[in-house]
Structure 1
């Protein structure tokens, strides 16, 4: 029996939003002659398998546009994701509809182009550390909090139990891991940049040097905002779109479909025209 697949009314109703998002993805691909994949949520080791599901059937002779929205996560996983994206494309572009922080900024470092608009936000690339019951925490913020507690305990030794409780179970091993991760930040950034085989050795050195201050050394807090102008000044390959730009409107039209799913702090989504994994972290 030939013809298109038909679904039961309930199944169709339950999945209609998914079909609408994939239809918008397909329209974008046709207009820009590229593959479009959406990745939303924390950057974790699980991201590798989930993104690979979306890249499995793409034409690697076409550009890949990755719509990326993430608060950050595992920098080591970010490096693997960059390499996957380059291996599945002739050119790798990151589209930032809203925020792409920390490990997501690291992913952006490996792109040929970073497409940003008025609402786009990158951030410092200080690493994050996973703390049980709390999730990913900025290594820089964790170290600062720990050192601050040590200073207060030194002044008032009798408050050690109280201040230990404030740290929420963060022990010296976790702090040492955070310090080690901070020391590797420059190496991680270099790995991300070197993952782009389109860059010459001179280009890699130039970009590593230009981002050291604005993205690694100078930011005081993990949540610092790095908009398109700041990112461009740091030497990143930014393509800035205005609010009325047709491509930006298409990016926002698709992005708002995910925004409407709610609970963005828990949402994850990996979607293309043939793959779809969408859910919420527990």
Structure 2
């Protein structure tokens, strides 16, 4: 039986902040309290990159500065990145990967809901990817003007629109080269190059996954050869990660937040622009 003082957020102490300030920021404080709870179980630092999919938030060039501020509180400690994103720009994703790798040699990507497209590409840079029953990865094939790059590679497109054809060709080459390098230096280190190339080909073409939004769950990711850590629905760490995700999703929709970058001591957010009256 749970005692009253054991329930989240388990204390009768008054906040150290002024009452008005605490009331205004209470949702952030509760999220950060839960971040500390997860850290106490994993013995690793936890940071969050949450992009509001209802606002079509994308990985972009401004994210590196925000992430650098967030990781500045961690130093070189091992950490987990709770990632929620539908994807975004490959250049920006490459920048995030470079930043993270320059700051630590040990990080995991945690996906409670979805890290699709370039979110999955970012996951390939990690030591491992932590997934649960609800978690989704996805194909990493880039899109140009909403068109899959494997289509833009075709000769018919080259005959009709050569610049667009070449744009798509090099975008696909960029993604595949980056994915191959990340896997060879990381979670598939020591595996034959042919095996790594096969994984990259599956993730970046329409031969295995017919839609850019195809679901790659923990079983499929493990079959591909990715280093996956699966948490059962009743796992104590997973239950806290899921509660944390629900908090971000609710708070972002209610407060019209585009993105949140958060750790136990630092918090940065971007608001959705309000159109003029």
TM-score (norm: length of structure 2): 0.78
2-structure distance, mates of 1:222, 1:178: 15
Structure 1: gaps (5+ residues): 132-136, 152-170
Structure 1 residue matching 2:24: 3-state secondary structure: helix
Structure 2 residue matching 1:260: 3-state secondary structure: helix
Task: Name which of 60, 67, 81 aligns with 1:44.
Answer: 60
Whether contact under 8 Å (2:87, 2:115) holds in the other structure is yes
1-structure distance, mates of 2:272, 2:163: 26
Whether contact under 8 Å (2:89, 2:118) holds in the other structure is yes
1:103 and 2:118 equivalent?
A: yes
The 3 A distance-change label for structure 1 pair 97 and 207 is: farther
1:216 and 2:204 equivalent?
A: yes
The runs of at least 4 aligned residues of structure 1 exceeding 6 Å deviation read: none
2-structure distance, mates of 1:122, 1:183: 20
1:101-140 to 2 correspondences below 5 Å: 101-129=116-144, 137=146, 139-140=148-149
Whether contact under 8 Å (1:270, 1:276) holds in the other structure is yes
The 3 A distance-change label for structure 1 pair 118 and 90 is: same
TM-score (norm: length of structure 1): 0.77
How many residues are aligned here? Answer: 248
Q: Determine the structure 2 residue equivalent to 1:268.
A: 259
Structure 2 residue matching 1:115: 3-state secondary structure: strand
**CA positional deviation for 1:213:** 3.7
**CA positional deviation for 1:141:** 8.7
Whether contact under 8 Å (2:138, 2:212) holds in the other structure is yes
2-structure distance, mates of 1:16, 1:63: 28
2-structure distance, mates of 1:74, 1:189: 14
Whether contact under 8 Å (2:139, 2:213) holds in the other structure is yes
Q: Determine the structure 1 residue equivalent to 2:82.
A: 67
